Amino acid sequence: MNSLFQRIGILTRPNTATQSMKDVIQFLRTQHLEVYLDRNHLAEELNEFCVDKHCHIVADLGSNCDLILVLGGDGAFLSAAHQAAPFNVPLVGINQGHLGFLTQITQENMFTELVNILEGKYRKDECVVLETKVSRDSEVIYQGLALNDVVLSRGGAGQLIEFEVFINDEFVYSQRSDGLIVSTPTGSTAYSLAAGGPILQNVLHAFALVPICPQSMTNRPIVIGDDNEIKILITKAGDARVHYDGQSFVDIQTMDVISINRYHNMVHIYHPASYQYYKTLRQKLHWGEQLV
């Protein structure tokens, strides 16, 4: 096989997909490709196997690899995206989970599809990433990336949050609600969809702002271009938090400011050559098939 990629990273959840990971490592090593594993996501039972196969165990896959394979569900894929985005490293998802919007390759077909992708036979998606900063007293206290969404939400006490939204420093609205979802097109089929937000075609350069159970029934989702800056001023926090792709969070206080922009890099996702966006929507969302 004439592979376009020589340094292949593999990421999965610890203690999941162990046999699949062994199989993929074995396959890649027989192709004389270098294999890199994330030490923070490596099951202990794989240590001896990985040493025997001369795998590299590193703290960050993004800075070491040409391509990252994700064995798992969408949660594992989002974790990998956070490592890949700063280095423009493409991702390939092998579904070991349930829904699998982002992990398109099935376990049954993974070796056939891997050969095709390594040889350059794939379809490529370039996905917008959110870059978010939380400021307190004009000082940035937390920043992070999100491929799916940034979610402002109330905490365990159940108090409504009060906040003001600005786009490019222009006041848009104030809101009293359970929170607000700022979603990318990639995330528009996730939490945003469940909260009543629109599905955004994955090639769009746009964000969706989706209220979570707003007190006013006139508060509706809006879609804006991804070249806009969104600022959220928290006027009553309670025990609110900001979540990044459900992977990390930061506690919020009254008068904190959340700033959201498009990240300067995209996330590059390689799908099988047979991938069809609308077919995926039909299958995952159980839409009706063609009648004639």
The whole-angstrom separation of Cα 66 and Cα 57 is: 15
Q: Are 82 and 246 in contact (CB under 8 A)?
A: no
Full strand arrangement of the beta sheet holding 56-58: 56-58, 34-38, 7-12, 67-72, 91-95, 267-272, 122-127
Task: Please indicate whether residue 74 is annotated as part of the active site.
Answer: yes
Helix (H) and strand (E) counts in the chain:
6, 19
H helices of 31-109, in order, are 47-52, 74-84
Which listed residue (74, 125, 178, 256) is catalytic?
74
| Range list of β-strands (E), 73-219 | 91-95, 122-127, 130-136, 139-146, 149-153, 161-167, 170-177, 179-183, 206-212
Q: CA-based diameter of the chain, in Å? A: 61
Catalytic residue numbers, as ranges: 74
